[in-house]
Every structure is written in structure tokens, then in C-alpha cells.
């Protein structure tokens, strides 16, 4: 009963010939909606316990198919009027998002469109949407309207260039089947007057405003000379209102910008802001100094350059918390008489060392207890160099003893009369060996002051 009531309520908004069916718990509707409300109702979720089967609903037909793009004061876009299908709606919203992204606007896109039929078959819906959004990109505030087959634009122009571009678009670049409407745009001074030069991997992009074509050509030439390997992308626009000496000031900043791996110089009024990333800390420091020297008199500059390998910086409470977390469950213990680190503590020590880099303003103290009473002093470790010298001396001594023994044997054969002397020498040698070696004196202790 509930499923049948659902279908009957929706059929009231459909043209004659519509069919609704109920099969077990599956609901199906086929027909033509009379108005947007009936079309939307046909898309509603079914009652609990029921599912939708075939839903073949034609949108309502309108006599004047309209499409509207409004540029709001916050820079966002509102799409209104009619759209031919849900797929066309999704495509229009996607294209509007791209327009906002290209203009750097942070505001979003609002959807006020209604699905309908009635667009002239000679007009491509996607081409209509694209043409309207292109005109919307030329206004700061206002609207672009497709009504009664004509496309018009009104409001406040983006800049002085925008008026001519809008007129040319309606005159020469209209999609097939669309008539040229009116261009009613007001020109206001650009504020803020900002120019940007951005360096990325493989490209340098010029955007914002320049006073005239000569300034544009001069700055592009300077960019090509400075950045030989990067592609120069010019997205600048022309408008009056630039500060005197803008091009010279921008050209002077190209040197510091070229030392960054990536970055941007932005000029608003007489203030220059350089930001980006440097490969090395020393290079980052020099970049700031170079910019301050390059800025012409009367101009101000700010620098915010980070280093790619720079360690983060933490405040005292954060450092204390992170130290406690790193050392939790990892007590460092030494065996009596030993200062040898155990392998399982190496990862902890590495983590603490990295943390110390980020806690540059803090003092780190290492506190521990002394060896227990009666602990044996650690056995001094023999360095590899000392061991090699000892082995060399032992080998030389052994070779000398071997040679001496051979000479003694030869002497006994050739000079028997000297056996007594040799025996005496041997006795002296045995006596020398019997003497204990002198105890080496320890070096005086070193002191740190």
C-alpha cells in the first residue's frame, strides 16, 4: 500500500501517458515530468523497504531555455537557468571550478540549475557552457546570460583589456546557433594592482598586471635572458594604475628569484614580497640580502625563504613532550666499568639527535649515576694503529734473534777459541732477559677548562 501511494503521488506531476509499476518491492516510473518539481520528485528515494527499478523520466520542456553564470562579489560563481541533463550539470560545475582555479579565486561554485528540455538542437550544450564561462572570466562582478538564443554580458570588467576581449568573443567566437547579445561593462581602477613572477620546475610564469605592451615586452625579454632553460609563460594583463618604475623594480628582483629552487616575487604598490624554497641555508640567507640590495630606493621588500633540508623548530613544551615520548621505555644502562652502548639503543639515540636539531633554543642535559663501589676500571682498548706498531716490533725482534742464533752457530764452526766468549755473551743475554721490564709511567691526567 505504501509503495502504491508513492507512485500515485508522483504520477500527478507527469504528462498523460506516464506509467508507474510495482513488482513485489520494486518501483518503476516512465514518463515526462510537467515541471521541475515533478522531475525532482521522481528522483526521490523510495519508501523504506522498497527499491527503484527502471526510472525513465524526461525533464520538463521549457519555451525559453536559459543559462546564467553570475560572478558574485566574493569572486565565486553561481550557475543557474537550465541544463539538459545531469551529466551536463556535472560537466558545467567542473568547468566552472577550472575557471576559478585559473584566476586564483578561493570562493566556490554554487549550483542553481534545473534540468530541462527545449535547447535548440543546433546548439552544443557543452559549447554554450564553455562560452558563457569564458565571458564570466572577464568580469569582477556581474552576469553572463543566454536568453532567447542570445548571449550577453554585463557588470564590472576585470580590467581595461576585458571590454575589448568580451566584444571580440561575442563577435568572432560564438558557438554555432548562438546569437550575439550586448556587452555592458563598467571599467574601474584595478585594486590591488599586483604583479607576480613565479618560478617552478621547468617554467617561469608572469601574471597580474602591467601598464602597457612595452612594459610586457621588456619584462619578457629580461625573463628570457635570466631563465635560459625554463619556459616563459605570460599570463599578464594590461591596465593603468601601475607605480612608476614597476618594470625596473621587477627586473632587479630576477637575480634573487633565480637562486631559488622554486619561488615567487609579488609586487603590490611599492611592496615586494619574495617567497620560496632554497636548497641550502646559506643560499637562503644570501637571497634575502641580494633582494634588499636590488630593491630600488623608495620600495620595500619582505623575504620568506625556507630551506629544503631545514629541520623544524619546536617550542619548549613541544620539545619536552617529544623527548619524553622518544625515551619512554628505553632506559640507557651501562655495565659496571663500561661505557659501551648496546645496539638496541642506537635508534633511540638517532631519534633524540634529530630532535635536538629542532630544539635549538633548549639545553639538553645528560644525567646518570657513577659506577658502584669496588667496580673494576675498564680495560683500556688497544687502538688499531698501536696494535699494528706492536706486531711490527715483535716481528723485528724475532727476526733479530733468529739472525743472532745463526751467526753464533757459524762462529763456533770457524773459531773454536771464541766459544768461551760466546758462552759468556749468552750468559749475559740470559741475565738481561731475567731482569724485570721497567714499569711504564702513566701520562699525566688531562684537564678540561
Q: How many domains does the chain have?
A: 4
Q: Which residue, chain included where needed, has cell 755473551?
A: 425
203 plus 174 within the same structural domain: no
Is residue 177 located within the same domain as residue 81?
yes
pLDDT at 288: 83
Residue 372 cell numbers, joined: 658502584
Contact 255, 265 (CB under 8 A): no
Residue 31 CB coordination number (10 Å) = 20
Is pLDDT above 90 for 167? yes
Let me know if residue 387 belongs to a domain.
Answer: no
What is the enclosing helix (H) or strand (E) of 392?
helix 384-414
DSSP state of 310: P
Residues 53 and 133 in one domain: no
Answer yes or no: do 15 and 84 share one domain: no
Q: Which class for 348: exposed (0-12), middle (13-18), buried (19 or more C-beta within 10 A)?
A: middle
Around 154, how many Cα atoms within 13 Å sit in the side-chain half-sphere?
8
Of 44-48, 206-210, 285-289, give the range with the top mean pLDDT. 206-210
In a domain, 415, yes or no: no
Torsions phi, psi for 72 (to 5 deg): -80, 165
Residue 246 inside a domain? The answer is yes
Quick one: 295 and 359 in the same domain? no
Asked whether residue 324 is domain-assigned, the answer is yes
Domain that holds residue 272: 194-307
Q: Please report which confidence band the pLDDT of residue 449 belongs to, taking 50, 70 and 90 as the band edges.
A: very low
CATH code of residue 295: 3.40.1520.20
Strand partners, 29: 20, 55
276 found inside a domain: yes
In angstroms, rounded to a whole number, what is the distance separating the alpha carbons of residues 58 and 30? Answer: 8
Q: Are residues 200 and 251 in the same domain?
A: yes
Cell of 238: 594590461
Three cell numbers, residue 418: 771464541
- DSSP string of 326-370, one letter each residue: HHTT------TT--PPPGGGHHHHHHHHHHHHH-TTS------PP
Whole-angstrom distance, CA of residue 291 vs CA of residue 189: 29
Q: 97 and 155: one domain?
A: yes
Kindly state whether residue 275 falls inside one of the protein's structural domains: yes
Whether residue 228 sits in one domain with residue 204: yes
- Structural domain contains residue 388: no
Q: Are residues 25 and 127 in the same domain?
A: no
User: Of 144, 159, 186, which residue is a domain's last?
Assistant: 186
The answer to whether residue 406 sits within a structural domain is no
β strands within 162-202, DSSP E: 179-186, 194-200
Axis crossing angle, helix 346-358 with helix 316-327, rounded to the nearest 10: 180
pLDDT in tens, 57-111: 888 999 999 999 999 999 999 999 999 999 999 999 999 999 888 776 778 999 9
The strand pair at 19-23 and 26-32 is best described as: antiparallel
Shared-domain flag, residues 77 and 178? yes
DSSP state of 157: E
Confidence of residue 309 (pLDDT cuts 50, 70, 90): low
Q: Which three cell numbers stand for residue 298?
A: 623608495
Give the tens place of pLDDT for each residue, 103-154.
767 789 999 999 999 999 999 999 999 999 999 999 999 999 999 999 999 9
Regarding whether 200 and 180 lie in a shared domain, the answer is no
pTM score over 0.75: no
Say whether both 82 and 178 belong to one domain. yes
Range in 307-316, 353-362, 368-377 the model is least confident about: 368-377
Amino acid at each position: 500500500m505504501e509503495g502504491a501511494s508513492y507512485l500515485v503521488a508522483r504520477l500527478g506531476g507527469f504528462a498523460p501517458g506516464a506509467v508507474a509499476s510495482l513488482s513485489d518491492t520494486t518501483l518503476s516510473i516512465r514518463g515526462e515530468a510537467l515541471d521541475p518539481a515533478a522531475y525532482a520528485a521522481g528522483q526521490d528515494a523510495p519508501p523504506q523497504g522498497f527499491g527503484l527499478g527502471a526510472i525513465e523520466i524526461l525533464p520538463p520542456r521549457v519555451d525559453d531555455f536559459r543559462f546564467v553564470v553570475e560572478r558574485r562579489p566574493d569572486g565565486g560563481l553561481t550557475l543557474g537557468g537550465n541544463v539538459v541533463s545531469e551529466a551536463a550539470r556535472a560537466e558545467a560545475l567542473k568547468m566552472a571550478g577550472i575557471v576559478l582555479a585559473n584566476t586564483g579565486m578561493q570562493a566556490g561554485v554554487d549550483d542553481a540549475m534545473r534540468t530541462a528540455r527545449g535547447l535548440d538542437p543546433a546548439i552544443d550544450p557543452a559549447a554554450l557552457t564553455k562560452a558563457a564561462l569564458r565571458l564570466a572570466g572577464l568580469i569582477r562582478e556581474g552576469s553572463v546570460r543566454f536568453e532567447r538564443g542570445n548571449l550577453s554580458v554585463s557588470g564590472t570588467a576585470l580590467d581595461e583589456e576585458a571590454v575589448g576581449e568580451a566584444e571580440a568573443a561575442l563577435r568572432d567566437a560564438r558557438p554555432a546557433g548562438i546569437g550575439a547579445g550586448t556587452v555592458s561593462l563598467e571599467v574601474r581602477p584595478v585594486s590591488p594592482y599586483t604583479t607576480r613572477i613565479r618560478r617552478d620546475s621547468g617554467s617561469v610564469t608572469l601574471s597580474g598586471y602591467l601598464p602597457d605592451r612595452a612594459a610586457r615586452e621588456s619584462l619578457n625579454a629580461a625573463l628570457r635572458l635570466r631563465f635560459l632553460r625554463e619556459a616563459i609563460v605570460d599570463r599578464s594583463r594590461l591596465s593603468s594604475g601601475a607605480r612608476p618604475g614597476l618594470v625596473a623594480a621587477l627586473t632587479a628582483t630576477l637575480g634573487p628569484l633565480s637562486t631559488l629552487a622554486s619561488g615567487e616575487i609579488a609586487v603590490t604598490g611599492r611592496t615586494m614580497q619574495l617567497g620560496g624554497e632554497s636548497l641550502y641555508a646559506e643560499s637562503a640567507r644570501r637571497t634575502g640580502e641580494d633582494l634588499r640590495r636590488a630593491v630600488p630606493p623608495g620600495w620595500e621588500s619582505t623575504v620568506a625563504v625556507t630551506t629544503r633540508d631545514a629541520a623544524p623548530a619546536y617550542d619548549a613544551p613541544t620539545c619536552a613532550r617529544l623527548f619524553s615520548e622518544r625515551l619512554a621505555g628505553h632506559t640507557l644502562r651501562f655495565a659496571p666499568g663500561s661505557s659501551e652502548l648496546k645496539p638496541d639503543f642506537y635508534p633511540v639515540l638517532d631519534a633524540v639527535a634529530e630532535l635536538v636539531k629542532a630544539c635549538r633554543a633548549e639545553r639538553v642535559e645528560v644525567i646518570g649515576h657513577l659506577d658502584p663501589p669496588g667496580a673494576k676500571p675498564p680495560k683500556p682498548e688497544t687502538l688499531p694503529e698501536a696494535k699494528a706498531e706492536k706486531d711490527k716490533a715483535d716481528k723485528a725482534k724475532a727476526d733479530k734473534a733468529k739472525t743472532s742464533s745463526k751467526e753464533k752457530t757459524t762462529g763456533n764452526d770457524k773459531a773454536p777459541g771464541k766459544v768461551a766468549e760466546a758462552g759468556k755473551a749468552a750468559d749475559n743475554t740470559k741475565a738481561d732477559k731475567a731482569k724485570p721490564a721497567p714499569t711504564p709511567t702513566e701520562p699525566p691526567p688531562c684537564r678540561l677548562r
